[in-house]
Every structure is written in structure tokens, then in C-alpha cells.
A and B are shown apart, each in its own frame.
Chain A
Amino acid sequence: MSATLNHVGLPRDAYKGAATTLCAGCGHNSITNHMIKALYELGIEPHRLAKMSGIGCSSKTPAYFVESAHGFNGVHGRMPSLTTGAQLANRQLIMLGVSGDGDTASIGLGQFLHMIRRNVDCTYIIEDNGTYGLTKGQFSATADLGSVQKKGAVNTFQPIDPCAVALTLGCSFVARSFSGDGKQVVPLIKAAIAHRGTAILDIISPCVTFNDHDGSTKSYSWVKDHEESIADVSFIPFFEEVHVDYEPGTIRDVELHDGSHIVLKKLGEDHDPTDRRAAMRVIEEGRAAGHLVTGLLYLDTTMDDFVTTEHIPQRPLRDLGESELRPTPEQFSQLMSEFA
């Protein structure tokens, strides 16, 4: 039986990676699978992909998909700067950053903000579980006020909401989803990759070991239909799906930089994803009601990305040679005479 090939002639297996070393049932593993599906379906050529990450459970995951692609597991919280530099060196690369809530909302908060400020063309996935898993369960800065740790400690601080922060900075793509909701995550990953600019995708991804218990607001049972284990997190899928074919009337059609369209099906109240204030309002209202709003919250396709504002050529800077990079001997000697 021959495997189904995507439009670049690769089977789904070509997008797999090494076996995961994360805990069984970890939400991050679900995200890895969504990533594989999205990349396969998009027909991303592995050699064009650069998988970037920081430090933590989330940052290990780039080893678990598209093994033949280059990856860079950097230092804690500094994925954005590595990604920015790599993209300047070769703008032909498709930058896919995977980070956690420790990376993003604590040690690397500054780099997170400044990557958005520059609108570096990168899909930035936050595998957000509100906890430090590798160091055995301390709160992260995205943990909700009043959440309870496995050992009973109560979080006494306000959470940092990466989506709200991204919105205030004018991030050109802000979305939130849930690791268990492949139907929503996969199209959002695809849209984020298609988007030219910084695409923040905050995916709530429960930690089965340290943050999957009553009292945690980021828990869930890996048997998803156990209602009681969902605790107090409610999910309102704002857009049930992101499709390429759409029905007029109840949909919003957004053209992305690469010419593809995403079609956003609205459920419930009308949300205009190009309205930043509306996005802020939706987050705030969700928070007030104890809900986590998911879906594509905000999208701006008009903003120049970083390589555009930097005016660098389409050809990778890393490929330029002496004849292009050195002034001529005549120019050099003119410069020397000006020093006299």
C-alpha cells in the first residue's frame, strides 16, 4: 500500500521526528502531531523549515517532528533572537518557533515583545501549561491567580496573558487554542505559517504530571470526555474551523500574504478579527466570565515584516560573496584618502 503523498511528493512519515521523551499524555505531544499534520498538508519542504526553540519541555518538541529539517534548541527564553538572526541570514527559511510559557512569559518576555515589535516572520507557538515541568512543577507566569499546585501551594499573582500582551503590541497575528482541539489547532498552524509576520499561537497544553489536578486552571484529562477533569477552564471555539472553502454570509474571508485564504466561521457573537479593540474586548469578557476564548483573535496582513523593513534582498545574505560585500579597491583607496 503506497502512502498518500502531498503536493511536494512527500508522505506524512517524512514529517515525523524522533520518539518523544515527554510524559505520556502530555498536551505537547498532541501539538507535535498537529504540527506534523499541518506541515504535511501544507506541503512544506523540510529543507526550508527551521525549527527553533528555547529551553523546557516545549522546546524539546522540535526534535519530534520533521527530523530531516534543521532545528536549533537554544537557551532559555531566547528563541526569538536566534530566530531573528537566522531569518536575516536566510530569509528563504520558514521559521517555526516552539516555546513554552516559562520561555515566553518569564525569562524571555523581553525577547517575545521585541520579536513582535519587529514583526519577524515566524510562527511562534507557545505550548502553555502554566507550570515548569522539567523542574518539577513550579508555577509559571501564565498560571491563573488562585490556581493550586499539585503540592497545594496557591498562586498569588496575576497571570500574564501572552495573547493580551501580543495584542497591545500590535502583533500581526494573535490566536489561541487548546492542544486537544486538533480541528482548530491544525488550521491555525497553517494560517500562522502562511502569515508573513510574527504569528503568536498560544496553545493551552495541560501538563499531565504537574498541572492536571483539581485546582489547576490549565488541567485536562487526556480522556477528554471526562467533564470533571476539565476543571474550571471553559473553551469557547470562536471559529469552529478555518477552511479554504467557505460559505457566504456567516464567514469572514481573509487573504494571507502567500495568496492563500483562510475562512473564519463565526459562532455566537460577531467578531471582526481585523479589529484589535474587539479582540481585546473578547479576551477581557472571556476572562470576566471565566472563559478562555479560542480562535483567531486578531490578524493584520498589511504590516511589513522585519526583512521587508530591513530592505535586505530576496537572496539569502549568507550566500553573498566578496564581490558583492567588499567595496572595490578604488572605493577603498578613496576612503583611505579621506582619513588623511
Chain B
Amino acid sequence: MTQQIINDLTIQAATVNGSGSQTANLVLTRAIFRMGIPVAPKNVFPSNIEGLPTWYQLRVTPEGHMARSDKVDILIAFNPATWHQDLKTVRPGGVVIHEEVFSNADVRSDVTYYPVPFAKLAKAKIQNDTLRKQLANMIYVGVVAGVLGIPLEALEHGVKRQFNSKPKAVQVNLDAIKVGHDYWQDNFSKKDPYRLEPMTGKVEGKVLVDGNQAAALGALMGGVTVAAWYPITPSSSVCENLIAYSERFRTDPKTGEKLISIVQAEDELAAVGMAIGAGWAGARAMTSTSGPGISLMAEFVGLAYYAEVPVVIFDIQRIGPSTGLPTRTSQADVAFAFNLSHGDTRHIVLLPGTVEECYEFARDTFDYADRFQTPVFMLSDLDLGMNLWMTPEFKYPDKPFDRGKVLSKADLERLAGEWGRYRDVDGDGVTYRTLPGTDHPAAGYFTRGSGHDEFARYTESAEVYERNMDRLARKLETARHSLPAPLVDESAGASTGVIAFGSTHAAVVEAREALAAAGKPVDYLRLRALPLSDELAAFVSRHERVYVVEQNRDGQVYDLVRLALPPNLVDRVRSIRHYNGQPIPAAAITEPLMSTEAVPA
């Protein structure tokens, strides 16, 4: 036997959508995590309810690499429709666990096969007729456990965690796992090099959370009280999780009274309209959507920008244009969101790069919206939002809400009613507002998306218009200095730098390790918000060449970076783009950087 490969492998389960395989995959994930081994699952699923092929990649590394791997070590082939294609993805020396009846035509000779009669076993061994189809997936969990040596205790934990410790469900699933495990023991001897062994030091204090769950929790902690949404993949689970948290933490169990309203709107126009109406009336309000929804919201976002209404918009990006690939990931809404709506508009865009930041930014984004009285975008993506990520536990907030410049009745009395809704008294571009319902005769004003002066009165005056637009620019400049600063790591002391943001972070972390090991270390600046920070130019000025890595075709942030740089630095910037809908692997960064001049600019 060749040398053992321990805790460093990628499992790919090729199954049929809607067959219950996701549950089996999650049990496997949680069982391995229970062994103390870092896991990085990626679910590649179709835009379909039942019948189309789906893949679940479970990457396991002792280092805790979180990016997608582009190599498959262990294939679980459960789908006859993709069997021949799936077989080609396995690396030489890999393992193929497959349904026994699959055709032998064109099989490879450089992999190890463990054929299992899954269908026969399910028929013979699983008594539960209604659940047989779902439980058949659990049989492969048992086989994988046999091949890799996953202990029973870890499997039990995975099953209990998945079925919320419902004893009946736990037992039937464990029984199905045992069917697979027994079959492995009775019929095979170990012929491959892969093994899992319990380890310590990497997962302690860590949890598995997806970014949408994290964002929903962040919104809850940030004090959202009105959320309006329209279902769309991959953002639906933001509000679905928020509903679940609200039932648990915001609902009086006796009266049913809820300290939040979450409305499923008739479309994205109404969703953002409700959020803006609520933000105007003083609630912390949000909507959550994906690219097509952002397109529909464009008009309303311009109103909120110009009329200066706080509102939070979650965009869980997927591949476009148009319907695109609805279940594949992308970072191609950045430029659009940044300038969303007609006329001169520009918005605060937060760019979380980890699920922990999905939580923290979601929580803090309500402060930014209130402080700067403007729409704030939280730009996550399908990879971050819908996949589970290993993360440190989230921290309980240590700050109260920042509700921004709001004048109360007492404030208006103190000012003897002398105020103007759009008067810049502090010189920071941020003006004072009153909320509807404030019991003072001077409180009311007329909010509008048409031209207005400092006192919110209609005007078409050229001078007043320009002055107002300049103030809005000044306001965004104030905000720019308050947003999450880029994280800079220059520990490599290298002449080459990498700039990235969002879910690309995981691939950059891994690529930097590989490049350092190959003697080509790179420094790193991770953007966390738009408009861009001054840190950016400083970072570029300290490096001879800087690569902007992003998951879109046109290099949208590459363009923004070059626009923000002084002319003498522009030439230093190069672009690396990945845009096939699959989460970017580290190789997409290491390969062009290993052969520097091969990079298209």
C-alpha cells in the first residue's frame, strides 16, 4: 500500500436532487467535524426541486482550508445519469464508492473501486417503506465511515445533531448507517491510502454556520423590527432564519405578540418599498434578495438615497446576467450595487469575507444606515450564504444601537423649532431628521424624491440642487472613514500583493500558504467595504505589483481600484477573475501568480 493520507482529502457525493442526500451529507460533515477535523463543505445544487444531478463536496484538511478543492479524492457515485462524468473527476489513486449495478464500460484502472448494491441493501434491510429512499443515502454514510474509519460516536453525534435528538429518527438513521458499515466490513478490505484520525487544536471553540444564518442572527442582534422580502435563491434563508429566530426570541409565548414584522411581499419592489417606508418611520428595516431583486429595487433605492432614508439591503449574489445560474455563486453585483439607481447615486456596500463577518456586519449595518440615513448593502454570495463554514463562535454585542441624528420633541423644544431636514449643521454632510409621530408642530416635513432644499421644500433651483448633491457626496465621504477598514497582512514583506474581498478570502488564504511554500510569498489586503478606503493606495504604493482577485468576468473591483488610485500607481494593478459559478479554488490564484506574466490585465 502507498503511504497513508490522513485527514487531507475531498469527498464528492454525486446524487439526485430531492432524494434526501443532503441530510446524509450533513451527517457525514458533522461526524467528521466531531472528530476534531476541519471541514469545508460546498453544496453544488441545481435550480430544481427533484430529479436533476447534485453534488456535495466535503473537503477535509488538517490546516482548515475553507476554499473549494478542484480535486476529488473520494467519489460517492449515487447518480446513474452522471456516473461516467463523475468518474472522470477523481484524481489518480482516488476512491470510487459506487452503486454496484452501474455500467463497467470505460472505467478507469487508476482508482480503487468499492461497489455497493445500495438499492438491494435498501430493499432488503430498510423496513420503513416511506423513508426507504431517504435512508438509502445513509447507507453510503456507513460505507464512507468504514472506508475512512469514522468512529460510531462521531456518527451518532452527527445524526443526533441533524435530527435534533428526535429518538425515533435518530435510530432509523443510525440503523441505515450500520447497514452500510456492515456491508463494508463484510465485503471489502482496505485498498486505498485515505484515513481520518481524530485530532485536536483546530476546531475547539469553532462552530459550523452558514452565512445566511449568521446574517439573520446579526440582523436580529442589530435590532431589525421590520423585514420585507420576496423569495429568491440564494437569499431566502436569510429571512427564513430570521423568522425562526423571531419565533424563538421575539415572540411572547403566551400572547403570540411579536416584536418584529417579517413580511413576504408581492415582489422585490414592494419588499424594498416596505423596508424604506419602515425606515422612514423610524424602524430598523431590511430586505433580502439576490441579483434579479436588486435590479427591481433600483428605482426605490434611488429614492432612499436622495430622500435620505435608512434601509438595509442584503444581496446574496448569484450568477447573472438575467436569471443566470440561480444556484451558483458570483461576486458580479458589486459595481451595480455600489451605484444602484439612475442619476448620481453611490452607496455604502459592506463586503463580509467570513461567516463571522456576515454576523457582525449584518448587526452593524443597521447602525450605518441610521447614522448616515442612506441605503446600506450587505453583499454576501451563495458560497458564503448557503454553505456551512467553520467559524469561531460569534460574540455578543458590546455596544448599544446607534440611532443616528434623530431630533426628539425635547430637542425641537430646545431648538425652538428651528431646524431644517437637510441642513448640514455639523459640516459632515449628515443632517438631522425627525420621525413621523413626533409631537411637535415643527417636526413634520415632506419627504420626496424630487428636488428639495434644506427645509425639504420643493425646488428646481440649480444652485440648491448642486449644493444638496455636494452635501450627499460629503456625507458618503464621512461614512467612508467609519466603515470596516481593509485588513492588511504584510507579514510576507513581499513585493507582490493581492487584493480580494468577500468569499474569495478563503481561496486567498490557502493560495498564500501555497505560494509562500513555493518561495513566492505575497502580501494581502482584504477590502471590507465600499467606497474604497485610503489604505488601498498606501498598500499599492508599497508593492511593485498587486493582483485584484474577484469572482466576476469584468474585473469590477479591479476597475474601482484603478479609478481610486493616483495615476502613477495604476500600472501596478493586475486582475485575476474567476466566474464559472463554482466557488473559486486556491489554484485559480496560485497558477497565474506562479507564472506572473500569464495574467491578463
Interface of A toward B, CB cutoff 8 Å: 18, 45-48, 50-52, 62-63, 66-75, 78, 80-90, 92-93, 110-111, 113-114, 310-313, 316-322, 324-327, 329, 331-333, 335-336, 339-340
Contacts and interface: CB of A to CB of B under 8 A. Distances in A.
Nearest to B458: A63
Contact of B280 (A82, A316, A340): A82
Contacts of A114: 265-266, 270
Contact of B282 (A66, A318, A333, A336): A318
A82 B274 contact: yes
Contacts of A75: 273, 299-300, 303, 449
Nearest to B299: A75
B276 A88 contact: no
B269 A89 contact: no
Given A47-B438, A73-B448, A89-B225, A78 B281 contact: no
B278 A73 contact: no
Contacts of A66: 444
A89 B435 CA distance: 10
Contacts of B251: 311
Given A47-B443, A89-B283, A81 B277 contact: yes
Contacts of A321: 223, 400-401
B151 to A, nearest CB: 18
A89 B311 CA distance: 13
A311 B256 contact: yes
B588 interface: no
Interface of B: 206-209, 217, 220-221, 223, 225-226, 228, 249-251, 255-261, 263, 265-267, 269-283, 285, 299-300, 303, 307, 393-394, 396-397, 400-401, 434-450, 457-458
Contacts of A73: 446-450
B3 to A, nearest CB: 33
B207 A85 contact: no
A324 B250 CA distance: 8
Contact of A81 (B274, B441, B458): B274
Contacts of B441: 46-47, 68
A98 B226 CA distance: 23
Given A82-B276, A110-B267, A88 B401 contact: no
B273 A70 contact: no
Most buried by B among A317, A319, A326: A317
A327 B277 contact: no
Contacts of B209: 339
A332 B300 contact: no
Given A69-B444, A71-B446, A85-B274, A325 B259 contact: yes
B300 A110 contact: no
Most buried by B among A82, A114, A331: A82
Nearest to A317: B225
Contacts of B401: 321-322
B258 A81 contact: no
Contacts of A69: 444
A111 B270 contact: yes
Nearest to A66: B444
A72 B207 contact: no
A339 B257 CA distance: 27
9 contacts: A70-B437, A71-B445, A82-B273, A85-B226, A88-B278, A90-B435, A317-B259, A326-B221, A327-B221
Contacts, number: 221
A72 B259 contact: no
A86 B273 contact: no
B283 A318 contact: yes
Contacts of B277: 52, 72, 74, 81-89
Contacts of B450: 73
Contact of A311 (B258, B270, B449, B458): B258
Contacts of A78: 269-270, 273, 300
A318 B225 contact: yes
A52 B273 CA distance: 12
Nearest to B251: A311
A52 B446 CA distance: 10
Nearest to A319: B282
A48 B441 CA distance: 11
Contacts of A88: 225-226, 261, 263, 274, 277-278, 283
B261 A312 contact: yes
A312 B252 CA distance: 10
B559 to A, nearest CB: 29
A74 B217 CA distance: 31
B294 to A, nearest CB: 16
Nearest to B274: A85
Nearest to A110: B266
Contacts of A335: 217
Contacts of B278: 85-86, 88-89, 317-318
Nearest to B269: A78
Contacts of B225: 88-89, 317-318, 320, 325
B84 to A, nearest CB: 39
Contacts of B448: 72-73
B281 A90 contact: yes
Contacts of B255: 311
Nearest to B209: A339
Given A325-B225, A331-B249, 19 more contacts: A47-B437, A47-B438, A47-B443, A51-B446, A70-B437, A73-B446, A74-B273, A74-B276, A82-B280, A89-B279, A89-B282, A90-B435, A111-B266, A114-B266, A311-B256, A311-B257, A317-B283, A320-B223, A332-B394
A89 B272 CA distance: 14
Most buried by B among A45, A73, A85: A85
A310 B258 contact: yes
Contact of B250 (A71, A325, A340): A325
